[in-house]
């Protein structure tokens, strides 16, 4: 094999956040190190075992249909901390084949169920000094919903999104000296494509066909398309003279078709509709407030761009989502709605009293923290360089302008 650094990223499509962070990491590695770093991403749970694959499908079904049931599912998944205490139990053969073929210098886990056992097995197969292991935990805070599977104390480096989540990991056994707090892990594109106020106005008008100056509510969803748009739109319709709406549907084609029909019958409410989107970061910047479940990726982008959140708690809140909501509730008094009747007084108050919204927005923005993602990537690459005993060439970011004669 060549001398380039090889990094294996372990992820799964439970929700959308884990895969999003895996993709962001790969893109950052190429942006900063070009061909000097090779990243191989594996959806290890579903590719390695029929039982794991069934569990991933069940997780996503619960997320869309009955979020409150995830409390039981989460409790069952916690048993993996015993099952994988020192080795991989389910899906070991596939994991073994990937390690043997790829010979990674570093393994990065961005999923709670892919730490314990996976690191120990890799060291046993490849050699203690031939591989380094890193966890990036995307949770915002600790408590019920923060999986014990995140905390594998043999890890070489444990990276948390927030100091709050880091402190919880330390309290439950993670050695302090192994921890880092490095903020969000988003794609380089999200860092480069940041609107000025003029660009925000232009995007609303030209790309979305909306009023450039009107209060804009973003009804969001993840890639799976779990949403409650049809319950929330009638509330917003009552304020049609004061606001406008962006609604995305993920891969939920049924919701997309329903909203297209609904819009044709309610022309008084300006409404932009999209299915699955790759420009979430632009839509958030174009919005004044976002209504979303407590998915860490969407909420991280909202915080980064200063777009206040109303948390969608329809049909219950998943344990991991509770961690996100708790972080924003404690820091900015963010509100959670469980029905359209909860939503109406919030919107009505903001439309009648703009100062109330401005106060919330100020409190929300005050929660922002430094998140230099190049530092996060450099930490991980430096650890891999200990194995290869070579140094990858670091390229500037943002890329330097190229002058054309």
Distance CA 228, CA 248 (A): 11
Is it the case that residue 268 has pLDDT exceeding 80?
Answer: yes
Output the six-digit token pair for 139: 């949770």
**Can you give the pLDDT at residue 402?**
45
Per the prediction, the chain carries an average pLDDT of: 92
Distance CA 320, CA 73 (A): 12
Distance CA 98, CA 45 (A): 13
Place 71 in a pLDDT band, splitting at 50, 70 and 90: confident
Place 87 in a pLDDT band, splitting at 50, 70 and 90: confident
In whole angstroms, how far apart are CA 124 and each of 6, 43, 100?
18, 22, 12
Output the six-digit token pair for 64: 């869309």
**Can you give the pLDDT at residue 75?**
86
Sheet holding 289-292, edge to edge: 271-274, 243-248, 215-219, 289-292, 309-312, 336-337
Distance CA 248, CA 229 (A): 9
Q: Are 314 and 338 in contact (CB under 8 A)?
A: yes
Q: Is the pLDDT higher at 404 or at 140? A: 140
**Can you give the pLDDT at residue 361?**
97
Burial of 394 (0-12, 13-18, 19+ CB in 10 A): middle
Lowest pLDDT segment from 113-122, 265-274, 279-288, 370-379: 370-379
What is the DSSP annotation of 201-215?
Answer: HHIIIIIT---TTSE
Place 405 in a pLDDT band, splitting at 50, 70 and 90: very low
Kindly report, residue by residue over 23-32, the tens digit of the pLDDT: 999 999 999 9
Is it the case that residue 1 has pLDDT exceeding 60?
Answer: no
Place 2 in a pLDDT band, splitting at 50, 70 and 90: low
In whole angstroms, how far apart are CA 118 and each of 8, 115, 146, 373?
12, 5, 19, 25
Kindly report, residue by residue over 344-398, the tens digit of the pLDDT: 999 999 999 999 999 999 999 999 987 789 999 999 999 999 999 889 999 998 8
Kindly report, residue by residue over 121-134, the tens digit of the pLDDT: 999 999 999 999 99
**Can you give the pLDDT at residue 58?**
86
Is it the case that residue 111 has pLDDT exceeding 70?
Answer: yes
Averaged pLDDT, 328-332: 96
Burial of 143 (0-12, 13-18, 19+ CB in 10 A): middle
Distance CA 93, CA 46 (A): 13
Place 404 in a pLDDT band, splitting at 50, 70 and 90: very low
Is it the case that residue 95 has pLDDT exceeding 70?
Answer: yes
The DSSP code for 162 is: S
Q: Is the pLDDT higher at 317 or at 11? A: 11
The DSSP code for 357 is: H
Is it the case that residue 183 has pLDDT exceeding 50?
Answer: yes
Q: Are 170 and 146 in contact (CB under 8 A)?
A: no
**Can you give the pLDDT at residue 401?**
61
Percent of the chain past pLDDT 70, that is, above it, reads 98
CA-closest candidate to residue 213, choices 201, 225, 229, 196: 201
């Amino acid at each position: 094999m060549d001398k380039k650094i090889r990094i294996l990223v372990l992820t799964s499509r439970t929700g959308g956040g884990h895969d999003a962070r895996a993709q962001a990491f790969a893109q950052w590695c190429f942006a900063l190190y070009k061909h000097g770093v090779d990243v191989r991403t594996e959806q290890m749970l579903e590719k390695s075992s029929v039982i794991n694959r069934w569990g991933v499908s069940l997780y996503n079904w619960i997320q869309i249909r009955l979020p409150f049931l995830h409390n039981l599912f989460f409790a069952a998944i916690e048993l993996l901390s015993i099952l994988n205490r020192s080795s991989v139990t389910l899906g070991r053969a596939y994991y073994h084949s990937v390690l043997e073929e790829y010979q990674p210098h570093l393994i990065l886990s961005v999923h709670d169920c892919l730490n314990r056992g996976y690191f120990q097995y890799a060291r046993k197969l490849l050699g203690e000094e031939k591989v380094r292991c890193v966890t990036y935990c995307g949770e915002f805070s600790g408590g019920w919903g923060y999986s014990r599977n995140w905390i594998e104390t043999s890890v070489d480096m444990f990276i948390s999104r927030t100091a709050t989540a880091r402190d919880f990991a330390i309290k439950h056994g993670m050695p302090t000296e192994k921890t880092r707090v490095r903020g969000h892990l988003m794609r380089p594109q999200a860092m480069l494509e940041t609107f000025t106020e003029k660009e925000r106005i232009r995007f609303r008008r030209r790309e979305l066909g909306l009023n450039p100056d009107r209060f804009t509510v973003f009804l969001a969803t993840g890639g799976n398309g779990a949403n409650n748009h049809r319950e929330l739109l009638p509330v917003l319709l009552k304020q049609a003279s004061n606001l406008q709406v962006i609604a995305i549907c993920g891969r939920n084609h049924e919701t997309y078709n329903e909203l297209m029909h609904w819009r044709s019958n309610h022309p008084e409410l300006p409404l932009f509709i999209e299915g699955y989107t790759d420009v979430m970061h632009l839509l958030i910047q174009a919005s004044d407030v976002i209504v979303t479940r407590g998915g860490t990726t969407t909420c991280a982008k909202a915080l980064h761009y200063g777009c206040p959140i109303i948390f969608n708690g329809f049909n219950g809140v998943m344990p991991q989502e509770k961690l996100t909501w708790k972080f924003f509730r404690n820091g900015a008094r963010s509100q959670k709605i469980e029905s359209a009747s909860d939503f109406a007084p919030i919107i009505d108050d903001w439309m009648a009293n703009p100062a109330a919204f401005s106060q919330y927005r100020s409190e929300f923005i005050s929660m922002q923290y430094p998140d230099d993602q190049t530092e996060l990537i450099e930490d991980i690459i430096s650890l891999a360089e200990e194995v290869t005993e070579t140094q990858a060439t670091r390229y500037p970011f943002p890329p330097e302008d190229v002058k054309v004669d």
